[in-house]
Amino acid sequence: MEDDTLTELNDEALLRRVAEQNDRAAFSQLFQRYAGRIKAFLIRAGAHREEAEEGAQEVFVTLWRRAETFDPTKAGATTWIYTIARNKRIDMLRRARRAEPDTSDPLFVPDDIESSETLVAGVDRDARVRAAILALPDDQRAVIRLAFFAGLSHAEIAQQLEAPLGTVKSRLRLSFARLRDELGSEFSLELMDQ
């Protein structure tokens, strides 16, 4: 289709051509129609000129990649394009607000290198815990896995296992008692020292 014919197509038809045929000429036509307006929109929303130019380019990259998600029954092409631009501006603001990390923060200080004895003790401890958990009955092992490895609450575990909340709590208490018997009561103190 020649450029003269493309200029006669409405925005929705151009978006369809981009989505269905990866039509570069249709994309170019949309770019000509909207790039300046999107840049101006971003500047009015507080972006600096260079930032607005980059943001407008990102809007059109998104348009190219996501043209197939355009649904004319939900919004017009202009609304859809400006929604992408609005979301891009929100992303730009979030990036600008993100503080630079403080390198003197203790989180950025590397941990002391552990001695080989500590590493071996940790491997042994992990193996003991793993063996003790594997020795639990299936129903108790399941609640331990969901509570501590999947991070689910008691209510979420009950829902996932389709079991009463009291049963979940009871299985957790029983599994703790078995683990305490298997690992010894001092084991929890050993874990706190780590």
The sign of the torsion formed by the CA atoms of 43, 45, 46, 52 equals: negative
Q: How far apart are CA 114 and CA 122, in angstroms?
A: 10
Structure tokens at 86: 């609005």
Model confidence pLDDT, tens digit, residues 3-55: 567 778 899 999 999 999 999 999 999 999 999 999 999 999 888 899 999 99
Q: How far apart are CA 188 and CA 31, in angstroms?
A: 64
Model confidence pLDDT, tens digit, residues 114-167: 778 877 877 888 888 888 889 999 999 999 888 888 888 999 999 989 999 999
Model confidence pLDDT, tens digit, residues 63-104: 999 999 999 899 899 999 999 999 999 888 888 776 666 777
Q: What is the pTM of this model?
A: 0.49
Find, among 15, 55, 52, 54, the residue nearest to 33 by Cα: 15
